[in-house]
Amino acid sequence: MKILIYYLVSFAGQIDLKGNKFMWSEIRNLIEEVDYGTPPREGKLVNLTIDGVNVSVPEKSSIMFAAAAAGKPIPKLCATDTLEAFGSCRVCLVEIEGKYGYPASCTTPVAEGLVVRTTTEKLDQIRRGVLELYLSDFPPGEIADGWSEFHETLKKEGVSRHRYGQGKNHFDELLDTSNPYFLFDPSKCIVCSRCVRACSEIQGTFALSIAGRGFDSVVNAGQDENFLESECVSCGACVQACPSHALVEKSLFEGEYKHV
Protein backbone atom coordinates (compact mmCIF):
# COMPACT_ATOMS: atom_id res chain seq x y z
CA MET A 1 0.00 0.00 0.00
CA LYS A 2 2.78 2.42 0.92
CA ILE A 3 4.48 1.75 -2.39
CA LEU A 4 1.27 2.35 -4.33
CA ILE A 5 0.70 5.71 -2.65
CA TYR A 6 4.27 6.73 -3.40
CA TYR A 7 3.68 6.28 -7.11
CA LEU A 8 0.23 7.88 -7.08
CA VAL A 9 1.35 11.11 -5.42
CA SER A 10 4.55 12.08 -7.17
CA PHE A 11 6.80 14.80 -5.76
CA ALA A 12 5.36 18.34 -5.87
CA GLY A 13 2.48 17.33 -8.07
CA GLN A 14 -1.22 17.11 -7.54
CA ILE A 15 -3.42 14.70 -9.47
CA ASP A 16 -7.07 15.53 -10.20
CA LEU A 17 -9.90 13.02 -10.36
CA LYS A 18 -9.36 12.48 -14.10
CA GLY A 19 -5.71 11.62 -13.49
CA ASN A 20 -4.30 14.89 -14.90
CA LYS A 21 -1.22 16.10 -13.10
CA PHE A 22 -0.88 19.77 -12.13
CA MET A 23 1.93 21.54 -10.39
CA TRP A 24 0.87 23.24 -7.17
CA SER A 25 1.83 26.65 -8.56
CA GLU A 26 -0.36 26.14 -11.64
CA ILE A 27 -3.35 25.54 -9.40
CA ARG A 28 -2.60 28.74 -7.47
CA ASN A 29 -1.82 30.75 -10.62
CA LEU A 30 1.77 31.43 -9.59
CA ILE A 31 4.99 31.38 -11.60
CA GLU A 32 6.39 27.85 -11.42
CA GLU A 33 10.06 28.75 -10.95
CA VAL A 34 9.41 31.19 -8.11
CA ASP A 35 9.02 30.06 -4.51
CA TYR A 36 6.95 32.87 -2.97
CA GLY A 37 7.80 31.64 0.54
CA THR A 38 4.23 31.68 1.84
CA PRO A 39 0.95 30.65 0.19
CA PRO A 40 -1.02 33.24 -1.81
CA ARG A 41 -4.05 34.96 -0.27
CA GLU A 42 -7.17 36.38 -1.84
CA GLY A 43 -8.79 39.72 -1.09
CA LYS A 44 -8.45 43.46 -1.38
CA LEU A 45 -5.12 44.63 -2.80
CA VAL A 46 -2.63 46.33 -0.51
CA ASN A 47 0.11 48.62 -1.90
CA LEU A 48 3.60 48.71 -0.48
CA THR A 49 7.22 49.29 -1.52
CA ILE A 50 9.95 46.65 -1.39
CA ASP A 51 13.48 47.91 -1.99
CA GLY A 52 12.03 50.83 -3.94
CA VAL A 53 9.72 48.66 -6.09
CA ASN A 54 5.96 49.32 -5.82
CA VAL A 55 3.93 46.16 -5.50
CA SER A 56 0.26 45.31 -4.84
CA VAL A 57 -0.70 42.01 -3.23
CA PRO A 58 -3.87 40.72 -1.54
CA GLU A 59 -4.34 41.66 2.12
CA LYS A 60 -3.01 39.07 4.61
CA SER A 61 -0.16 38.18 2.22
CA SER A 62 3.23 38.09 3.91
CA ILE A 63 5.96 40.62 3.23
CA MET A 64 7.97 37.65 1.93
CA PHE A 65 5.26 36.93 -0.65
CA ALA A 66 5.10 40.60 -1.68
CA ALA A 67 8.88 40.72 -2.05
CA ALA A 68 8.91 37.68 -4.33
CA ALA A 69 6.07 39.21 -6.36
CA ALA A 70 8.14 42.41 -6.67
CA GLY A 71 11.13 40.43 -7.96
CA LYS A 72 13.04 40.92 -4.69
CA PRO A 73 13.04 37.43 -3.19
CA ILE A 74 14.12 37.26 0.44
CA PRO A 75 16.48 34.48 1.65
CA LYS A 76 14.65 31.85 3.68
CA LEU A 77 15.06 28.36 5.08
CA CYS A 78 11.94 27.37 7.00
CA ALA A 79 9.47 28.94 4.55
CA THR A 80 8.15 27.66 1.24
CA ASP A 81 4.99 28.63 -0.59
CA THR A 82 3.31 25.24 -0.25
CA LEU A 83 3.26 25.55 3.56
CA GLU A 84 1.96 28.05 6.09
CA ALA A 85 4.72 30.20 7.61
CA PHE A 86 6.41 29.00 10.76
CA GLY A 87 8.99 31.71 11.45
CA SER A 88 11.73 29.60 13.01
CA CYS A 89 14.94 30.09 11.01
CA ARG A 90 15.33 33.90 11.27
CA VAL A 91 17.03 34.14 7.89
CA CYS A 92 14.27 36.22 6.28
CA LEU A 93 14.53 39.33 8.45
CA VAL A 94 13.72 42.74 6.94
CA GLU A 95 13.65 46.39 7.93
CA ILE A 96 10.39 48.34 7.83
CA GLU A 97 10.54 52.12 7.80
CA GLY A 98 9.21 53.56 11.07
CA LYS A 99 9.15 50.15 12.83
CA TYR A 100 11.55 48.95 15.46
CA GLY A 101 13.71 45.82 15.00
CA TYR A 102 14.01 43.23 12.27
CA PRO A 103 10.78 41.25 11.79
CA ALA A 104 10.65 37.92 9.98
CA SER A 105 9.16 38.65 6.57
CA CYS A 106 7.46 35.25 6.32
CA THR A 107 5.25 35.85 9.37
CA THR A 108 4.74 39.62 9.00
CA PRO A 109 1.66 40.57 6.98
CA VAL A 110 1.67 43.40 4.44
CA ALA A 111 0.00 46.72 5.24
CA GLU A 112 -0.91 49.71 3.10
CA GLY A 113 2.03 52.06 2.50
CA LEU A 114 4.77 49.95 4.13
CA VAL A 115 8.28 50.74 3.00
CA VAL A 116 10.39 47.57 3.33
CA ARG A 117 14.09 46.99 2.85
CA THR A 118 15.33 43.45 2.33
CA THR A 119 19.06 44.11 2.07
CA THR A 120 21.01 46.57 4.18
CA GLU A 121 24.44 46.26 5.74
CA LYS A 122 22.88 45.36 9.11
CA LEU A 123 20.47 42.79 7.62
CA ASP A 124 23.23 41.12 5.63
CA GLN A 125 25.36 40.93 8.76
CA ILE A 126 22.56 39.35 10.84
CA ARG A 127 21.66 36.89 8.05
CA ARG A 128 25.23 35.76 7.57
CA GLY A 129 25.58 35.29 11.33
CA VAL A 130 22.49 33.07 11.42
CA LEU A 131 23.70 31.03 8.43
CA GLU A 132 27.10 30.58 10.05
CA LEU A 133 25.40 29.15 13.13
CA TYR A 134 23.59 26.62 10.94
CA LEU A 135 26.87 25.76 9.23
CA SER A 136 28.63 25.17 12.55
CA ASP A 137 26.46 22.05 13.03
CA PHE A 138 26.43 20.88 9.41
CA PRO A 139 28.80 18.06 8.37
CA PRO A 140 31.94 19.88 7.11
CA GLY A 141 32.44 17.46 4.22
CA GLU A 142 28.93 18.23 2.96
CA ILE A 143 29.31 22.00 2.72
CA ALA A 144 31.28 22.55 -0.49
CA ASP A 145 29.54 20.30 -3.00
CA GLY A 146 25.95 20.24 -1.80
CA TRP A 147 23.17 21.23 -4.17
CA SER A 148 20.26 21.63 -1.76
CA GLU A 149 18.22 24.79 -1.16
CA PHE A 150 20.29 25.35 1.99
CA HIS A 151 23.48 25.28 -0.07
CA GLU A 152 21.99 27.66 -2.65
CA THR A 153 21.10 30.09 0.13
CA LEU A 154 24.63 29.89 1.53
CA LYS A 155 26.06 30.62 -1.90
CA LYS A 156 23.74 33.56 -2.53
CA GLU A 157 24.62 35.07 0.83
CA GLY A 158 28.34 34.45 0.35
CA VAL A 159 28.71 32.15 3.36
CA SER A 160 31.05 29.19 2.92
CA ARG A 161 32.54 28.81 6.39
CA HIS A 162 31.80 29.69 9.99
CA ARG A 163 33.90 31.36 12.62
CA TYR A 164 33.20 28.88 15.41
CA GLY A 165 35.40 25.99 16.51
CA GLN A 166 34.06 22.44 16.51
CA GLY A 167 31.67 22.20 19.43
CA LYS A 168 28.84 19.88 20.33
CA ASN A 169 27.27 18.68 17.10
CA HIS A 170 25.05 16.09 15.41
CA PHE A 171 27.63 14.76 12.93
CA ASP A 172 27.49 11.19 14.23
CA GLU A 173 23.74 10.73 14.36
CA LEU A 174 22.56 7.45 12.84
CA LEU A 175 20.96 7.36 9.40
CA ASP A 176 17.43 6.08 8.98
CA THR A 177 17.52 4.10 5.72
CA SER A 178 14.44 2.02 6.48
CA ASN A 179 12.23 3.54 3.78
CA PRO A 180 12.88 2.01 0.34
CA TYR A 181 12.70 5.37 -1.46
CA PHE A 182 14.30 7.96 0.76
CA LEU A 183 16.62 8.21 3.74
CA PHE A 184 16.90 10.54 6.69
CA ASP A 185 20.34 11.88 7.59
CA PRO A 186 19.89 13.73 10.92
CA SER A 187 23.36 15.28 10.67
CA LYS A 188 22.04 17.49 7.86
CA CYS A 189 18.78 18.39 9.56
CA ILE A 190 18.43 22.10 10.34
CA VAL A 191 15.19 21.48 12.28
CA CYS A 192 13.12 23.80 10.11
CA SER A 193 9.98 21.66 10.54
CA ARG A 194 9.13 21.82 6.83
CA CYS A 195 8.87 18.01 6.70
CA VAL A 196 6.60 17.92 9.73
CA ARG A 197 4.33 20.60 8.26
CA ALA A 198 4.33 18.96 4.82
CA CYS A 199 3.26 15.68 6.40
CA SER A 200 0.34 17.32 8.17
CA GLU A 201 -0.63 20.20 5.83
CA ILE A 202 -0.10 18.53 2.44
CA GLN A 203 -0.54 14.85 3.13
CA GLY A 204 -2.67 14.98 6.30
CA THR A 205 -0.84 11.98 7.74
CA PHE A 206 0.67 13.55 10.88
CA ALA A 207 3.40 10.87 10.93
CA LEU A 208 6.20 13.31 11.81
CA SER A 209 6.90 15.56 14.76
CA ILE A 210 9.83 17.35 16.34
CA ALA A 211 10.84 15.63 19.57
CA GLY A 212 13.06 17.18 22.24
CA ARG A 213 13.98 20.82 22.72
CA GLY A 214 16.82 23.13 21.76
CA PHE A 215 19.97 21.24 20.77
CA ASP A 216 18.19 17.90 21.29
CA SER A 217 15.38 18.70 18.84
CA VAL A 218 15.03 15.92 16.30
CA VAL A 219 12.57 14.83 13.61
CA ASN A 220 10.60 11.91 14.94
CA ALA A 221 8.69 9.45 12.76
CA GLY A 222 5.64 7.93 14.47
CA GLN A 223 6.13 7.06 18.12
CA ASP A 224 9.93 7.11 18.07
CA GLU A 225 10.00 4.53 15.25
CA ASN A 226 11.89 4.44 12.01
CA PHE A 227 10.21 5.80 8.89
CA LEU A 228 9.12 2.41 7.60
CA GLU A 229 7.57 1.31 10.90
CA SER A 230 5.76 4.63 11.40
CA GLU A 231 2.43 5.77 9.88
CA CYS A 232 4.46 7.33 7.00
CA VAL A 233 2.77 6.51 3.67
CA SER A 234 5.88 7.29 1.56
CA CYS A 235 4.13 10.13 -0.28
CA GLY A 236 7.40 12.07 -0.56
CA ALA A 237 5.93 15.41 0.63
CA CYS A 238 8.54 15.62 3.41
CA VAL A 239 11.41 14.90 1.01
CA GLN A 240 10.12 17.53 -1.40
CA ALA A 241 9.90 20.07 1.44
CA CYS A 242 13.31 19.43 3.03
CA PRO A 243 15.71 22.31 2.22
CA SER A 244 18.95 20.64 3.30
CA HIS A 245 18.73 17.10 1.87
CA ALA A 246 18.47 15.63 5.35
CA LEU A 247 15.52 13.83 3.81
CA VAL A 248 16.62 12.80 0.35
CA GLU A 249 15.68 10.34 -2.38
CA LYS A 250 17.92 7.30 -2.41
CA SER A 251 17.86 7.21 -6.21
CA LEU A 252 19.96 10.40 -6.34
CA PHE A 253 22.98 8.53 -5.05
CA GLU A 254 24.91 6.08 -7.16
CA GLY A 255 26.07 3.22 -5.01
CA GLU A 256 25.92 3.57 -1.26
CA TYR A 257 25.02 6.85 0.45
CA LYS A 258 28.02 8.10 2.36
CA HIS A 259 27.46 9.45 5.83
CA VAL A 260 30.10 12.07 6.56
Using CB under 6 A as the binding rule, whether residue 192 contacts ligand SF4 is answered as yes
Of ligand SF4, ligand FES, none, which one sits near residue 191, judging by CB under 5 to 8 A according to partner kind? ligand SF4
Number of C-beta neighbours around residue 215 at 10 A: 12
Which residue of 68, 191, 221, 235 would you call a contact of ligand SF4, by CB under 6 A?
Answer: 191
Total residues contacting ligand FES by CB under 6 A comes to 12
Selection from ligand FES, ligand SF4, none that 239 binds (CB < 5 to 8 A by kind) is none
CB of residue 87 to ligand FES, shortest distance in Å: 4
Map residues 60-89 to x or -, x wherever contact with ligand SF4 holds by CB under 6 A: ------------------------------
Q: Which of 108, 193, 203, 205 binds ligand SF4 (CB under 6 A)?
A: 193
Among positions 123, 199, 241, 259, the unique one binding ligand SF4 when judged by CB under 6 A: 241
Q: 196 to 235, contacts with ligand SF4 by CB under 6 A? A: 219
Report if residue 78 touches ligand FES, rule: CB under 6 A: yes
Of 6-14, 28-36, 77-85, 236-244, the segment contacting ligand FES by CB under 6 A is: 77-85
* Residue-wise DSSP of the chain: -HHHHHHHS-TTEEE-TTS-EEEHHHHTT--TT---SS----SSEEEEEETTEEEEEETT-BHHHHHHHTT-PPP-SS--TTS-----S--SB-EETT--S--BTTTSBP-TT-EEES--HHHHHHHHHHHHHHHHTS-GGGTSS--SHHHHHHHHTT----SS---S--TTPPPB--SSSEEE-GGG-----HHHHIIIIII----EEEES-GGG-EEEETTTB-TTTSS-----HHHHH-SSSSEEEGGGSSSSPPP-
233 versus 246: smaller Cβ distance to ligand SF4:
246
What residues contact 81, with CB distance under 8 A and at least 6 apart? Answer: 25, 28, 30, 35, 36, 37, 38, 39, 40, 65
Q: Which is nearer to ligand FES, 73 or 222 (CB)?
A: 73
**Considering only CA atoms, which of 233, 229, 154, 237 is closest in space to residue 190?**
154
Residue from 9, 64, 85, 247 binding ligand SF4 (CB under 6 A):
247
Site string for ligand FES, 96-115 (x = CB under 6 A): --------x-x---------
Choice between 197 and 245, CB closer to ligand FES = 197
Residue 77: contacted member of ligand SF4, ligand FES, none (CB under 5 to 8 Å, by partner type): ligand FES
* Cα 234 to Cα 103: distance, rounded to the nearest angstrom: 36
Residues that bind ligand FES (CB under 6 A): 76-79, 87-92, 104, 106
Residues that bind ligand SF4 (CB under 6 A): 189-195, 219, 241-242, 244, 246-247
